[in-house]
Amino acid sequence: MINTCFKTNTRLSVMSEWLTTTSLQAKWYRGPWPSLQAAVLFFVSVTGDERKVMKELTSSQVRQMYLDFFEQHGHKIMPSASLVPVDDPTLLWINSGVATMKKYFDGSVVPDNPRMTSSQKSIRTNDIENVGRTARHHTLFEMLGNFSVGDYFKHDAVHWAWELLTGEQWFDFDPEKLYITVYPKDTDAKAEWLDAGVKEDHIVEAEDNFWDIGQGPSGPDSEIFYDRGQEMNNVAEDDPENYPGGENERYLEIWNIVFSQFNHTPEGTYEPLPHKNIDTGMGLERVVSVFQHARTNFETDLFLPIIRATEQLSDGKKYEANKTDDVSFKIIADHARAVTFAIGDGALPSNEGRGYVIRRLIRRAILNGKKLGINEAFLYKLVPVVGEIMKSHYPAVLEQADYIAGVIHSEEDRFNVTLDTGLSLLNDTIAATKAAGKTQLDGAEAFKLFDTYGFPVELTTEYAGDEGLGVDQEGFKSEMEKQRARARNARSSAKSMGVQRALLTDIKSVSKYVGYSQLTVENAKLLDIIVDEKLVDQADENADSAEVIFDMTPFYAEMGGQVADTGSIVDEAGHQVAKVTDVQHAPNGQNLHTVKVTGKLVKGATYTLTVDAARHSKIEKNHTATHLLDQSLRNVLGTHTAQAGSLVEPHYLRFDFTHFGQVTSEDLHKVEQMVNDQIFAEIPVKTVETDIETAKKMGAIAMFSEKYGKRVRVVSVGDFNTEFCGGDHVSNTNELGLFKIVSETGVGAGVRRIEAVTAGDAFKFLNDEESLLSQTAALVKAPQLKEVPHRVEALQGEVKQLESDQRALQAKMAAQQAASAFDNIETVNGTTLIAQQVNVAGMGQLRQLADDWKQKLPSDVLVLATANEGKASLLVAMAPDQVKAGHKAGDLIKAIAPAINGGGGGRPDMAQAGGKNPDGISEALAQAKTWLEK
RNA sequence: GGGGAAUUAGCUCAGAUGGGAGAGCACCUGCUUUGCAAGCAGGGGGUCAACGGUUCGAUCCCGUUAUUCUCCA
């Protein structure tokens, strides 16, 4: 079938033009070295009626075709890795296909197959403001890529690219429509393209075709452009930007092929890499827009169904009716995809890091929904639509749709709360602005509403407008710029890709881990010794620490949360020569032991390796307990809980899992009970080694799918739980003895952490708790432990009764004191004064007396003093008419407080002071009289 | 990673230049009444997030920490 758009559009077939000289000059000026003036002319030939008809492919077909092509050329199809980076703190999100390949390119892991291909979901948020306003900015996008880790290089990369693009059974693009850019100095690449069949006039030299991220691997690249014809353009034909690579909509960059061949050293030089790599990236959305003849990426089958669903939810708005609404439709479609995938991969909305990205995307979508007249929660309804579009390559989205929609829905509700509080703050601000007689809301105020309370400036402008006020947009922008500058200055520059640790990458010796069945290996041959980053033949005490590899080892290397084993290395003469302090996986998979050398280690000699068995046994118990806990959590809380991290140490285990909301104490008890039930049931723990498919059929739960090779170990605890796991486990659950949860806390929105102990540590924990209870029982004099709560309750009642009795008694005493204290009235300067030292408990009592005084007002002024435990307290109160006359209690007390070596103050009608000199009380009282005389 | 804010009764929130911690709802008791959030009277419930500092005195000011919200990267 032929795409109808193409059939009717005859202009396409007659389109042709020469690029003007001006456009070429513009190209030269963009490069850093304008002196390189190899005049590169290119043109589009007249193809007339011979032009090829575009294949009609869906996005699923395009994706599959790409992967199939490279699989046929010996590539392993890699699954689209989770958007949440595994073991990579430098990345917030997986932001490209190569991001998941970093571990291969930097040599920390050697891949099974050096040729790999993938369609990798990715998230980028640096240009979030442009999403919806341009033709192809997205937050979530897919990157098709083929990768060579030290295998094929320019020749194959170029020839295969051309075959995929133009081959009849593949993309079958018209070669006349394709343009290739090359780095001018990279004559090899140009030669390969010519050899593959690209016409010379379709090859453009571009100075900026050099991929360089600073220190690390770098190299020239080739970009491939598709000419969609002038009628797709947004600039005039003679515009200086109208060339492949310029700022235009006509020449669409669809593929970038990086020839990674140099190491950019810290000194700023470029050294050839020992292993040259290929890394390519083709934007799926872009190439689909070519196939589907879409003006922007949004009019493809990847986005249109979401837009149509949004139309249904809106109050009658239609896509492509006006530009403003279109932007909103596009933003919603884009963000719906991104948040659906991000949440599906285990991220959750929160106030920092990637969780905050999700929150922001959801909020932007909601605001744009409001612009389309959608005022209730709606975004969650788009989750199944996204799932349906992507199900061929990402079936998991549809499977988790309910959970994802639930998370989004609750976040939509939350945002409404934010908007409500923001609105009431805005009303205050508007009122204040009006009261000050201003016609415009301060930019800083609008920014504060946005910055601190999350109230969007668009809404501020709108509501202020309703009240007849403008908003100082310039002021707002300048505040925003200050904020940006602050953040930029504080940014740390973490390296995004390291250089290969060549030494370890080159060690290919074979080492076998046998610790699943034995904890001691005799006659283990020492294959490699590394001291100070150099391979050596022997090491002794002088080399404090060394790294060693044996042909066989019982030492477990840290992985999957389980910590490394420790133990000893003994030579043939029976002398301990080294202690194993840490074990990690080397790039080629060997267990690399870090040892403290105490004797002599010689390459080629044999040693007896012994794992610290007691420690190992504790680790095994905690690891099996982790599996039981994981399964119990899923059984009790629901299948949405997924492991978010785990640590298995000898003395405890730590387990992080995703869970939306709180875990009730009843649920926690159920989980704990369920784990212990499995222990008491004495279930055998079985481990089998098999291939992935069989394991999946067994129902095994994979935690990080990409970490597993062809052969996987599957650990099952009866029918209760089956998981992929390369770690060590007990052989029967009864070895765990007892399982006890020590704590349950939150470690961020949506992630909870449980810490637990088993066996001896569980017993110790319970013992410690019991001993605390026993101590408490002794303290409250409870004859039996079970009496403790009752005793405490009774004591609390007693305390309460005593307190209340005491209060009553004190009030009575105060009243008695008052009766006599208020008798002694003096008149000073026409004002009546009561100045008395009383014998009460403290300031509280003085206040009570003042309250009494206030009821009866026997005098105009009251000054009370009391002494307690070396401290003196003063209180002054004034009758209301005295306050009106301008006499302030605070002034009086400030005048007399120095007499008791203190200071004080208070309100006009009442003030208090404290001091450290009770002997000064009479002096203070006397001074009160003098004060009144003035 | 960097900024701005919040944390007060079971819940929702007031509060004061640093000097007696409050309301509404909920809860308990009694009375009245039995029709849609019933009424009236009385009562219980607080380490004002935690710790440290300044001060005669801190729920309030300053600092640290925790949690939550929010903006930027």
Nucleotide at minimal C1' distance from the A450 CA: B71
Q: Are A893 and A902 contacting, i.e. CB atoms less than 8 angstroms apart?
A: no
Q: Is the pLDDT of residue A39 over 50?
A: no
Strand B, CB < 7 A, residues 849-888 of A: 850-851, 854, 871
- What positions of strand B are covered by protein, i.e. any atom < 7 Å from a CB? 1-5, 13, 17-20, 45, 55-57, 67-73
Contact, A245 vs A27, CB < 8 A? Answer: yes
Q: What is the average pLDDT across A325-354?
A: 89
DSSP state of A562: B
Percent of chain A past pLDDT 70, that is, above it, reads 87
Q: What is the mean pLDDT of residues A90-111?
A: 82
Banded model confidence at residue A502, pLDDT cuts 50, 70, 90: low
* DSSP helix/strand/coil, A56: coil
Phi, psi angles (nearest 5°) of residue A886: 100, 5
Question: What's residue A336's pLDDT?
Answer: 95
Helices (H), A436-571: 443-453, 457-466, 473-489, 502-505
Residue-wise pLDDT for A211-270, tens only, equals 887 667 889 999 999 999 998 888 899 998 888 888 888 999 999 999 999 888 777 788
- In chain A, positions 494-553 with C-beta closer than 7 Å to nucleic chain B are none
What is the number of other CB atoms lying within 10 angstroms of the CB of residue A273?
A: 19
Taking residues A671-700, what's their average pLDDT? 85
pLDDT of A204: 93
Question: Which 745-764 positions of A have CB less than 7 A from strand B?
Answer: 746-749
| Position with higher pLDDT, A49 vs A57 | A57
Closest nucleotide over all strands to A417 (CA to C1'): B69
Residues 564-623 of A with CB under 7 A from strand B: none
A750 pLDDT higher than 70? no
Where do the H-state alpha helices sit in A467-545? 473-489, 502-505
Query: DSSP alpha helices (H): ranges in A52-152?
Result: 59-72, 102-105
Least confident range from A101-110, A273-282, A690-699: namely A690-699
pLDDT bin (cut points 50, 70, 90) of residue A7 is: very low
Note the pLDDT of residue A6: 27
Among chain A residues 293 through 352, which have CB within 7 angstroms of nucleic chain B? Answer: 350-352
pLDDT of residue A33: 27
pLDDT tens for A344-402 read: 888 888 777 788 888 889 988 988 998 898 888 899 999 999 999 999 999 989 988 88
Q: Is the pLDDT of residue A311 over 50?
A: yes
Query: How crowded is residue A802: how many other Cβ atoms within 10 Å of its Cβ?
Result: 10
User: With contact defined as beta carbons under 8 Å apart, do A378 and A333 qualify?
Assistant: no
> What is the predicted pLDDT for the residue at A899?
83
- Identify nearest nucleotide to residue A912 by CA to C1′ distance: B19
Establish whether the CB of A491 is closer than 7 Å to any nucleic acid atom in strand B: yes
Nucleotide nearest to A849 (CA to C1'): B20
Q: What's the Å distance between residue A656 CA and nucleotide B52 C1'?
A: 33
Nucleotide whose C1' lies closest to the alpha carbon of residue A847: B20
- Between CA A454 and C1' B55 the distance (Å) reads 37
Chain A window 350-379: residues with CB closer than 7 Å to nucleic chain B are: 350-353, 356-357, 359-360, 363
The confidence score (pLDDT) of residue A25 equals 24
**pLDDT band with cut points at 50, 70 and 90 for residue A497:** very low
Q: What are A132-161's pLDDT values in tens digits?
A: 888 888 999 999 999 999 999 999 999 999
Query: What element of type H or E holds A887?
Result: none
Lookup: nucleotide whose C1' is closest to A129 CA: B72
State ipTM.
0.81
A532-587: pLDDT as tens digits? 878 899 888 887 788 899 999 999 988 877 888 999 999 999 999 999 988 888 87
Asked if pLDDT for residue A62 goes beyond 70, the answer is yes
CA(A421)–C1'(B23) in Å? 20
- For B19, nearest residue by CA–C1' is A906
A710 pLDDT exceeds 80? no
- Split at pLDDT 50, 70, 90, the class of A800 is low
User: Over the stretch A160-213, which tens digit does the pLDDT of each residue have?
Assistant: 999 999 999 999 999 999 999 999 999 999 999 999 999 999 999 999 899 887
A411 nearest nucleotide via C1' and CA: B69
Instruction: For residue A36, name the pLDDT band (cuts at 50, 70, 90).
Output: very low
What's the CA–C1' distance between A420 and B37, in Å?
Answer: 23
Average pLDDT of the segment spanning A702-723: 71
Q: Is the CB of A660 under 7 A from strand B?
A: no
Mean pLDDT in chain A?
82
For A429-467, the pLDDT digits (tens) are: 888 788 778 888 888 888 888 888 888 888 888 888 888
Interatomic distance A891 CA / B41 C1' (Å): 43
Q: Is the CB of A448 under 7 A from strand B?
A: yes
What is the per-residue pLDDT across A850-889, written as a single tens digit (0 to 9) for each?
777 777 778 888 888 888 777 788 888 888 787 777 777 8
Distance, Å, A410 CA → B12 C1': 20
Residue A172's φ and ψ, nearest 5 degrees, are 60, 40
- Nearest nucleotide from residue A910 CA, by C1' atom: B19
Q: What is the pTM of this model?
A: 0.72
Q: Which residue is nearest to nucleotide B73 (CA to C1')?
A: A487
Q: Is pLDDT at A60 greater than 70 in this prediction? A: yes
Q: How far is the CA of A405 from the C1' of B22 (A)?
A: 42
- Residue A47 CB in 7 A reach of strand B: no
- Burial state string for A696-713 with b = 16 or more CB within 10 A and e = fewer than 16: beeebbbbeeeebeeebb
| pLDDT tens per residue across span A816-852 | 766 677 778 888 888 888 888 887 777 777 777 777 7
**Chain A residues 88-147, Cβ below 7 A from strand B:** 92, 126
Q: Cβ of A697 < 7 Å from strand B?
A: no
- Give kind and range of the element (H or E) at residue A758: strand A751-758
**What's the rounded mean pLDDT across residues A597-623?**
92
Decide: helix, strand or coil at residue A731. coil
Q: Report yes or no: A31 and A207 within 8 Å, Cβ to Cβ.
A: yes
Residue A163, φ and ψ in degrees, nearest 5: -65, -45
Q: How far in angstroms lies nucleotide B47's C1' from the CA of residue A845? A: 21
Provide, in whole angstroms, the distance separating residue A800's CA from nucleotide B46's C1': 15
A487 CA to B2 C1' distance (Å): 5
- A513: β partners: A553
**Segment of A6-20, A24-38, A331-345 carrying the highest mean pLDDT:** A331-345
Is nucleic acid strand B under 7 Å from A451's C-beta?
Answer: yes
Q: Where are the alpha helices (DSSP H) in A713-787?
A: 759-779
pLDDT band, residue A37 (cuts 50/70/90): very low
Q: How many Å apart are A787 CA and B31 C1'?
A: 39
Cβ A200 vs Cβ A39: under 8 Å:
no
CA distances (Å), A556 to each of A501, A597, A732, in order?
A: 22, 19, 20
Does residue A918 lie within 7 Å of nucleic acid chain B, judged by its CB? no
Determine which of A432-446, A469-483, A797-811 has the lowest per-residue pLDDT on average.
A797-811
Shortest CA–C1' contact from A747: which nucleotide? B67
Residue nearest to nucleotide B20 (CA to C1'): A847
Q: Give the CA A386 to C1' B21 distance in Å.
A: 53
Radius of gyration of chain A (CA): 38
Return the closest nucleotide (C1') to the Cα of A490: B2
Q: How confident is the model at residue A494 (pLDDT cuts 50, 70, 90)?
A: very low
Q: A167: which residues sit within 8 A by CB, 6+ positions away?
A: none
Assess contact for A780 and A756: CB atoms under 8 A. Answer: no
Nearest nucleotide to A914 (CA to C1') is: B56
Please name the nucleotide lying closest to A902, CA to C1': B56
- Nucleotide nearest A364, CA–C1', reads B71
Among residues A156, A230, A170, A158, which one has the least CA distance to residue A198? A158
What tokens appear for A728 in the block?
């060590």
> Mean pLDDT over residues A796-806, rounded?
68
Closest CA to A193 of A185, A183, A182: A182
CA of A871 to C1' of B42 (A): 39
Question: Residue A35 pLDDT > 60, yes or no?
Answer: no
